[in-house]
Each structure stands twice: as structure tokens, then as C-alpha cells.
Amino acid sequence: MARPNPNDLRIRALRLGFRALRLVSQDLAFRGAERLFSTPRRRRETEVERALLSTGRTFHFQSKGLRLRGHVWGEGPAVLCLHGWEGQGSQFHAFVEPLAQAGFSLLAFDQPGHGGSQGRRSGPLDWAQASLDLVAQVGPIHGVVAHSLGAAGIAVAMDHGLQVPRAVFLAPPARPDPFYHGVLSLLGFPESEHPGAFEVYARRAGLPPERIRLHSLAPRLTPPMLVIHDRMDREVPWSDGESIATAAPRGRLLSMEGLGHRRLLRDSRVIEASLAFLKQGDENPPLPFHGEGPRSLEWHLFHRELRTDWGVPQSLLV
């Protein structure tokens, strides 16, 4: 969600191109803006992230015809960790060891169009469907930790029936409108055209506008929710997290200072608070994935031919 420099030569060229396109067809210009907004740039993994990937297990699963890359570390009830826009699952490297020590496994994947997953364009319904498809494959999860737009994606999935016992949202955006309007302004669209352009974006996303706005969905999200947001976040305002925590029936807000938008993923206080919140759940959740061997999440992922609907053969469930 980093804001591009309006003086960048590429931005200036885009402005000229969209000015000409708007003269030809406003609808084409709207669709071009939606395509640009929905096409993420792929980032390279850091050395720390590459080292982390070598310690876990990599797997792939299908969602909407795309082959998506996932990773799993540790044993125990699975905590699904969801990255934000132009991120990838390995960004949760600082969570791996603390979750493992607490008796959880960390399950992460690269969203469509991100990291090692297929796809070019990406949107909230794509992210939600990917989470639904993954959980349908591996079975129930103990909770989620979702950063930025990952929180919006998992909220849509929860609104579509995904069972999430506990949710931690890190710097969640209340709605995509300001970010989309910012891109439109950067491309030279007058403010009078912003509402129409956003309608085109929502139609492509496949959802009514209110169903892709997290602050509108929050009253429908009934599981316990911890929202962690930095007061000085320059990418997603702290007020967004506050509004979501206030609107959620069982929401709580934890405010941080001096971390910005991305350092939340590496800060020991954030990780400690997230773990404490996740551990408040059922000490013995009814999940098939724990321990070693056929009860583990890794075994389930890599021995699909022996699975039952719950993940392990009934003869091994003792």
C-alpha cells in the first residue's frame, strides 16, 4: 500500500495515457484503472525469508484455477497467517518460532498474484476464496493472524462462512476506497468520477461495495478479535483499526507506538500479544492436527492419498 511518487516518470506517462483514454471512453479508462489497481508487484524474498523457507515444508493447492504456494512450520493446531498487498507468506518469519514454542503450527501461503503463486490480478474475493479453499483442504484452524489487506481478505472469507475461532488483525484497512481514490487522483481522474470508477472496481471484485469494506463487515464477525495498530501508521491510519475493533462484537484494540505499518510483523511485543490472545482459546481444540506422524498438519498435507474428510484415516484416530 505504499504511495507512489507523483513525480515518477512512469506515473507521469500513465497520467498522459489515461487522459487520452478518458477522451476516447470513460468506461475503458475505469476498467484500465481497475486493472492497474488490482495488479500487484511481486517482491523478492529477503535472505531471512529464504532461510526460513528452507526450514519449513512447501506445498501447493488450487484456487479458482490457480496453483498457489503455501508453507507450514511446526506441529500442533494451525494458525493461518495472511500477508498484505504485495507481500508473501514468508513475511511472518518472526512468528514461526514463538508459535512453535507455544504448541502451534504456522500455516501461510502466497495470495494470488503474489510470491510463488500463480496469477496476475488480485482482489478481495480472490483472497477470500483462496483461504476458503486452503482450509477446506487441510481442515479446521485454531485462529488467524492477518496483516493489512490480508485482514480484509479473511474478513470476506469469514463473511462467506469460514470458521475462525480467534482473529488477530494487524493494521487492517477499514475500506479500500481511500486507496483507490488515491490511485485515481494520481492517474488524473477528477473527483467527480471517483464514485463511478469505484463501482467498476467493486463489480470486478464480485461483491457489493459494502461487502468489501472491513468496517461494514466487522459487526458480522462474531469471533474474538484483537486489532493491533500503530498510531503513526502512514499507510493505513490508526483510526481504521480503531473503527474495526469498535464495530466488531468481540473486538479489542491494542495501540502501538513507533512501529509504522510493517514492523508490526517483527516486533516482539506484537508477537507476544498475538500469542497470548490465541492461547486464550480452547486448550484442547477439536483439531486433527497435532503432535507428530499422522496427526500432524504436515503429514496431512503431504499424504493426501490416505486422508479422510477430517484429514487422517479413522483407524489412526485413537
Q: One-letter amino acid identity for 229? A: H
Nearest alpha carbon to residue 189 among 308, 46, 30, 13: 30
Cβ atoms 59, 72 nearer than 8 A: yes
What are the pLDDT digits (tens) for 256-283? 999 999 999 999 999 999 999 999 865 4
Please tell me whether residue 10 adopts helix, strand or coil conformation. helix
The beta strand positions in the chain, using DSSP E, are 57-63, 66-73, 78-82, 105-109, 143-147, 167-170, 225-230, 251-256
Query: CA-to-CA distance for 43 and 12, rounded, in angstroms?
Result: 23
Confidence (pTM): 0.83
What are the pLDDT digits (tens) for 168-207? 999 999 998 899 999 999 999 999 999 999 988 888 888 8
Query: CA-to-CA distance for 55 and 130, rounded, in angstroms?
Result: 24
The highest-confidence range among 21-30, 114-123, 143-152, 195-204, by mean pLDDT, is 143-152
- 209 burial (CB, 10 Å; 0-12 / 13-18 / 19+) is middle
Residue 3's contacts (CB-CB under 8 Å, 6 or more residues apart) are 182, 235
Query: CA-to-CA distance for 58 and 50, rounded, in angstroms?
Result: 12
Strands 105-109 and 66-73: antiparallel
